[in-house]
Amino acid sequence: MASAADLDISMDAHSLYREEIYTDRKVGTIRTLVPVTPQGAPDGARTIVYTGEAQIMTQMGPLPITFEIEAKSLAEAVEGYSEAAKVAVERTVRELQDLRRQAASSIVLPGQGGAGFPPGGIGGGGKIQIP
């Protein structure tokens, strides 16, 4: 296990951003990451990054989704929010479906333990075994 002395926890002074948050208080939030110099002045050599935030409701409760919005201004980010959110939600739903499929198709093999069964599986007269 790494000790605190082994960790590099210093910030990169040349990769700083100022964060600004915009919301319509109905649908979502846009975060604007404005590049700044180590002194806090705007850094025109780097581009502003726009990210959107939304939530979808799942059986486990709300699931936050964060996505990047390709835009050159806040107005473009607001205009592009809807399409970027749709793509992000569709991707998230596909990933959730894949995870659900993987969980449903997991097989507990005799002798593997798993699923809370003791090593060697549960006793019984079953003759089918999957190698």
Query: How far apart are the C-alpha atoms of 56 and 117, rounded to whole Å?
Result: 35
Query: How far apart are the C-alpha atoms of 113 and 91, rounded to whole Å?
Result: 34
Q: How do residues 99-126 score in pLDDT, each as one tens digit?
A: 888 888 876 666 655 555 555 555 544 4
> Measuring CA to CA, how many Å separate 119 from each of 104, 105, 106, 116, 125?
21, 21, 17, 9, 17
DSSP state at residue 42:
B
Confidence of residue 3 (pLDDT cuts 50, 70, 90): confident
Is the overall model pTM greater than 0.85, yes or no?
Answer: no
Q: How do residues 30-62 score in pLDDT, each as one tens digit?
A: 999 999 999 999 999 999 999 999 988 888 888
Average pLDDT of the residues of the chain: 85
Confidence of residue 8 (pLDDT cuts 50, 70, 90): confident
Confidence of residue 27 (pLDDT cuts 50, 70, 90): confident
Query: How far apart are the C-alpha atoms of 113 and 119, rounded to whole Å?
Result: 4
